[in-house]
Amino acid sequence: MTTPHDAPAPGTPSAGTPTPGTPAAGASAPAKPSADEVRRLIALGCRILAHRGLAEDILGHISLRDDDGTLHIRCRGPRERGLLFTDPGDVWRVGLDGDTDLPDGYRVPNELPIHREVLRARPDAQAVVHIHPPNVVAADLAGLTLRPIVGAYNIPAMRMALDGIPVYPRGVLITRPDLGREVATALAERPVCILRGHGIVAIGETVQQAVVRALTVESLAKMTLAASGHRTPPVLPEADIAELPDLGSAFNDETVWRSHLARLEHAGLGLD
């Protein structure tokens, strides 16, 4: 369908209309979630990532910054069953700088330095996802750069690739602050960084946004691998890029998040 030149592109707000995902003028900011709500949100994020194939077994974690110098993070407990079965009780508060005291049987992720150092380096980030998406790892190891080869198929993926997705070139566990700082430096101002032979780090203003960004880069990697099996896929033409609107965080993050929650519930994996 052709859009008239004098009409806004689909998804583009008209004058005086608030951008999706941003409060209208005079509207109050969203209420801060309670600790219980945060734990439930992180647990659901872990389940979504695992259900969509981005996590193998027990590997991966999500964190959310609090404003008191702490963060909530998915930990491993005495009844560890993997990310797909994460419960709110697996999510605990630890210090952004020091305190990691947890109840008996629980321990923080070995790669807690990823979360601490990225949050320290990126004050705009509230949530951090570290996960092992197989298509991202495979594409990078095959020497395939994630380029803007798709358009309306996945607009956020196109924009992410258009800006460039950085790569941290070491396939090591990020268990020390100095390694965490290296990852934060590689990430720089981008929303996602590939960890070679390892996984990714994705950040967001919310858990929902960080999770959806992780899903987005895995979708792009999967398409890159599929297309590259036949020939080198061309990048999207600039004229087409200019036609694609930013549909806003309410659509790109919240609506996609709800779709994945529905998939969990359909599979009997929702939280009561």
Q: Which residues, in sequence order, are CB contacts of 127 under 8 Å at separation 6+?
A: 62, 63, 64, 65, 203, 204, 205, 206, 207, 209, 210
Distance CA 2, CA 204 (A): 34
Is residue 208 within 8 Å of residue 254, measured between CB atoms? Answer: yes
CA distances from 222 to 136, 139, 229, 253 (A): 7, 8, 11, 20
C-alpha triplet 219, 184, 201: angle, nearest 5°: 25
Whether 37 sits among the annotated catalytic residues: the reply is no
Torsion sign (Cα): 167, 217, 191, 66? negative
Which residue is catalytic, options 111, 117, 182, 218? 111
CA distances from 195 to 129, 229, 242 (A): 12, 23, 30
**Three-class secondary structure assignment of 71-117:** EEEECECCCCCCHHHCCHHHEEEEECCCCCCCCCCCECCCCHHHHHH
Distance CA 152, CA 93 (A): 39
Tokens of residue 68, six digits: 């008191």
Neighbours of 233 (CB within 10 A): 15
Distance CA 144, CA 86 (A): 33
Q: Report, as residue numbers or ranges, the catalytic residues.
A: 111
